[in-house]
Structure 1
Amino acid sequence: MTLSPTAAPQQTGGKPARRYGPNHRWTVLGIGVAAQASFSATFAGIPVTGTTMRGEYHLSNGQLGVVLGGILLGVAVSEILWGLLTDKFGDRKVLLTGLLSTGAVLALMSLFTVPSGDSVPSVALLAAAMLLVGILGGSVNGSSGRAVMIWFREGERGFAMSIRQTAIPAGGAIGAALLPWLASSYGFRPVFGVLAAFCFITAGATWLWLHEPDDAPAAAKAAAAAADDRSPLRRWDCWRLALASALLTMPQIAVLSFAGIFLHDAKDAGLVVGSVTILAVQIGGAAIRVWSGRYTDRTGNRRGYVRAVGVITGVAMAAAAVLTHAPTVLVAISLAIGGMLANAWHGVAYTEIAAMAGAQRAGTALGLENTTAFAGATLTPLLIPLLLGWSSWTVVWAAVAAASLIAVPLAPGKAKPKPVTAG
């Protein structure tokens, strides 16, 4: 039986089920933020420990790139599947599965993949564990995003999705502030243990409070009527936005993964300088994302905004390339600005591709978006050591700028209005 928005749902035994009215959407958004932040602290926080990890695990720059890219590769190869499963089984089941399994793997890593005395885990074991974390943690993105899309309506979705996407730099900021200190002071056992605890705590909140709205069936019908009935996987406009997002991800990951290494190796800066630079990127990026969502809700031009961000990010990273040999303070500031700008498009692009697909296909659309974005994020730490070995840091930052600028014409332009039919 289909429930109307005002019908009282019933549980077995005639006992009324708990109602979740419109205001519960803010609780759902809070869960989405917490889930995204828990996983973000992992995939964005661990790279900030790169200098310590390289020494503790006896890694070369190339091996470090493989290890750090493992999480992102895991997300990239699993996202579409998780999106399809989310659309089929619902947000709650997929999010709980992902958080609990990711937490379990991180807990096992804290026991079995940390250096102890003269014993150092192999590169293969560490990379495989990181890959598994990425595969399981990838479930968080589409499931939490679909929950937000179902609970929020057009005109506020950009703001809500941008807040959820803000959890990525916010969680990364927590990781940047906490994990390098834990790793250098106490080793990697507490690093993985704390990340596991984040996942388990968020899973508890999901179990308690993530539910569908009472008017979900009615909302689903409305969304289906408004959206293109084709799968996002068969739409070139969705693919264009997703591929542009892959290119726009590269400057963000380049700064997160290698700004600290660059400042340490090329500028002789200490751990504090690298951590402060990344922290500024994450906090500033969070603020820009929230503003971007509110702004595009008012203007309605999400596609144009994504293109504009590509231009200004490309210019900012080109400036970082020019300033490579400048004083440390100047180049650190330029990288921080470029990294912050590279964060601005996420919530807007994710909202746009989910809106293009419709709420009931949002899991698949967000899975596609995350697949390409994380594919770009995976390639970045693999390509940078190759570029660095072939040339210089100037070329690295210039290549990152070029990726942003190429994304501009690739991103879809203004959507054509749908024809109005009589009746």
Structure 2
Amino acid sequence: MSSRPWTILGVSTFAQTAASASMSGAPFLIPALHHQGLTVAQASLLVAAPVAGVMLTLVAWGWFADHVGERVALMAGLSLTVLADVGAAFAHSHLLLGICWLIAGASAAAVPSASGRVVVGWFPPHRRGLAMGIRQMAQPAGLAVASATLPAVAAAYDLRTALLIPAAFAAAALVAVAIWVVDPPRGERTAHVATNPYRGDLFLTRVHVVSVLLVIPQFVVWTFSLVWLVDGRGWAPAAAGLAVSIANLLGAFGRIAAGQLSDAVASRMRPIRWIAYAAAATMTILGLIAGGPIWVAVAVMFIASVLTVADNGLAFTAVAERAGPWWSGRALGVQNTSQFLASAIVAPLGGLAITHLGFGWTFGLAAIPALAAIALVPVRDERPLS
């Protein structure tokens, strides 16, 4: 195997890391927005704007990647992301900030499908689990960068300076994609290979539903760990940001381990079911211990940060493999749209739950969708990896 797939994997991972900072980094500015006078519920609604933007355009970007290729889609999306992030930094009202965040999310949505397609296209089946685990570590890695920098910079300087960080990150990723990314070969387009993969069975639909259910505890942990430590446990923003950054980095390595496990057992679905069991148990424990001894609670938060993200790479790989090279962009767009739709709802509802029920109940209730996912994982309908 040549070095090209690994180089493209590295650049794709970097691009997704940058996109993740733009798409999902806004919640780490909830304390800064709260300091400006917004309530936690209002700030939670505002920071959902990038995720809402992502949700609106993922399928369209997937279609674009299916038809014009991954490299062009990545460069177009990252270029627009840079412009929108700069606009957010210079917004003079919360309304304008929300609009720019919406556009930034809509633009960065080009990266998940295109970068996933390019990795699946360059790696053989027995290496895809590991490769996609590495690529999927970009999402928590991007959150780790955002959680370590955005709240600290906002506290030390101002909100504008903090908002320029994702713009610079996306600009660097754009340059890397332009230099190193090459579209993978995908053969001749025939009626058979271009058949709609949603016809004939419910495998892809069930994977989408399971992913939606499992993304709820993931986004509860991602969105509210920082504000829990700052407002609920009295931590300084910089210290809380460092803790959340460590948790997200651990989650990134958890995705790699899950991908390697799926290659070893030649299955994507069985490990997803195991992860669903573990995520449900951990969120229940976090709900019970959220107000208890701080270092025990933080340790459980670290474990939850690993387990609640571990299924993402497996589901992403399974969708791309089942959909094939002429449909994977759209199928991955549907996969991500459904997840981001759920996450867009999690932020405002979670903010209301924290306001009226507290952090413990909010964390504990997030175990319910993980429990519901267990029975829906389509283990028996999975095809042999080939």
TM-score, with structure 1 as normaliser: 0.86
Structure 1 gap ranges (5+): 1-20, 114-120, 419-423
Alignment of 1:205-224 (within 5 A): 205-213=176-184, 216-218=185-187
Residue identity in the other structure for 1:44: S
Structure 1 residue 89 corresponds to structure 2 residue 68? yes
Structure 1 residue 74 corresponds to structure 2 residue 43? no
Compared with structure 1, are the counterparts of its residues 416 and 140 closer, same or farther at alpha carbon in structure 2 (3 Å cutoff)?
closer
Alignment partner of 1:360: what SS? coil
Instruction: Give the drift of 1:254.
Output: 1.1
Residues 158-202 of structure 1 show CA distances to partners (whole Å, capped at 9, x for unaligned) of 111111111111121111111112111111222222211111121
Residue identity in the other structure for 2:151: P
CA contact (8 A) 2:80 2:107 kept: yes
CA contact (8 A) 2:22 2:108 kept: no
CA contact (8 A) 1:22 1:151 kept: no
Which of 361, 368, 381 is the aligned partner of 1:402? Answer: 368
Report the counterpart of residue 377 of structure 1 in structure 2.
Answer: 343
Higher radius of gyration, 1 or 2: 1
Which of 281, 290, 296 is the aligned partner of 1:324? Answer: 290
Counterparts of 1:88 and 1:325, CA distance in 2: 51
Number of residue equivalences: 384
Worse-matched range after superposition: 156-165 or 323-332: 323-332
Instruction: Give the drift of 1:273.
Output: 4.2
CA contact (8 A) 2:15 2:173 kept: yes
Alignment partner of 2:126: what SS? coil
Residue identity in the other structure for 1:335: M
CA contact (8 A) 1:69 1:381 kept: yes
Counterparts of 1:128 and 1:221, CA distance in 2: 39
Structure 1 residue 65 corresponds to structure 2 residue 44? yes
Instruction: Give the drift of 1:156.
Output: 0.7
Structure 1 residue 312 corresponds to structure 2 residue 312? no
Report the counterpart of residue 196 of structure 1 in structure 2.
Answer: 167
Which of 179, 182, 186 is the aligned partner of 2:153? Answer: 182
Report the counterpart of residue 24 of structure 2 in structure 1.
Answer: 44
Would you identify which runs of 4 or more consecutive aligned residues in structure 1 move more than 6 Å? Answer: none
Residues 140-161 of structure 1 show CA distances to partners (whole Å, capped at 9, x for unaligned) of 1001111111111111111111
Residue identity in the other structure for 2:304: G
CA contact (8 A) 1:169 1:286 kept: yes
Compared with structure 1, are the counterparts of its residues 284 and 361 closer, same or farther at alpha carbon in structure 2 (3 Å cutoff)?
same
Compared with structure 1, are the counterparts of its residues 272 and 212 closer, same or farther at alpha carbon in structure 2 (3 Å cutoff)?
closer
Worse-matched range after superposition: 358-367 or 231-240: 231-240
Counterparts of 1:321 and 1:50, CA distance in 2: 21
Counterparts of 1:416 and 1:210, CA distance in 2: 31
Instruction: Give the drift of 1:83.
Output: 0.7
Alignment partner of 1:277: what SS? helix
Structure 1 residue 253 corresponds to structure 2 residue 219? yes
Residues 47-70 of structure 1 show CA distances to partners (whole Å, capped at 9, x for unaligned) of 2222122213x2111211111111
Counterparts of 1:42 and 1:67, CA distance in 2: 14
Counterparts of 1:288 and 1:394, CA distance in 2: 24
Counterparts of 2:315 and 2:43, CA distance in 1: 30
Residues 2-29 of structure 1 show CA distances to partners (whole Å, capped at 9, x for unaligned) of xxxxxxxxxxxxxxxxxxx943111111
Report the counterpart of residue 132 of structure 1 in structure 2.
Answer: 103
CA contact (8 A) 1:320 1:335 kept: yes
Structure 2 gap ranges (5+): none
Counterparts of 1:391 and 1:382, CA distance in 2: 14
Q: CA RMSD in A?
A: 2.1
Counterparts of 1:234 and 1:91, CA distance in 2: 28
Counterparts of 2:162 and 2:200, CA distance in 1: 41
Alignment partner of 2:196: what SS? coil
Instruction: Give the drift of 1:347.
Output: 1.0
Residues 330-377 of structure 1 show CA distances to partners (whole Å, capped at 9, x for unaligned) of 222212211211111111110011111112321111111111111121
Counterparts of 2:123 and 2:365, CA distance in 1: 38
Worse-matched range after superposition: 127-136 or 323-332: 323-332
Residues 83-111 of structure 1 show CA distances to partners (whole Å, capped at 9, x for unaligned) of 1111011111111100001001111222x
CA contact (8 A) 2:140 2:249 kept: yes
Residues 223-253 of structure 1 show CA distances to partners (whole Å, capped at 9, x for unaligned) of x96x683244886321211121112112221
Residue identity in the other structure for 1:130: W
Report the counterpart of residue 335 of structure 1 in structure 2.
Answer: 301
Instruction: Give the drift of 1:391.
Output: 2.4
Counterparts of 1:338 and 1:28, CA distance in 2: 30
Alignment partner of 1:301: what SS? coil
Counterparts of 1:339 and 1:305, CA distance in 2: 17
Of all paired residues, the percent bearing the same amino acid is 27
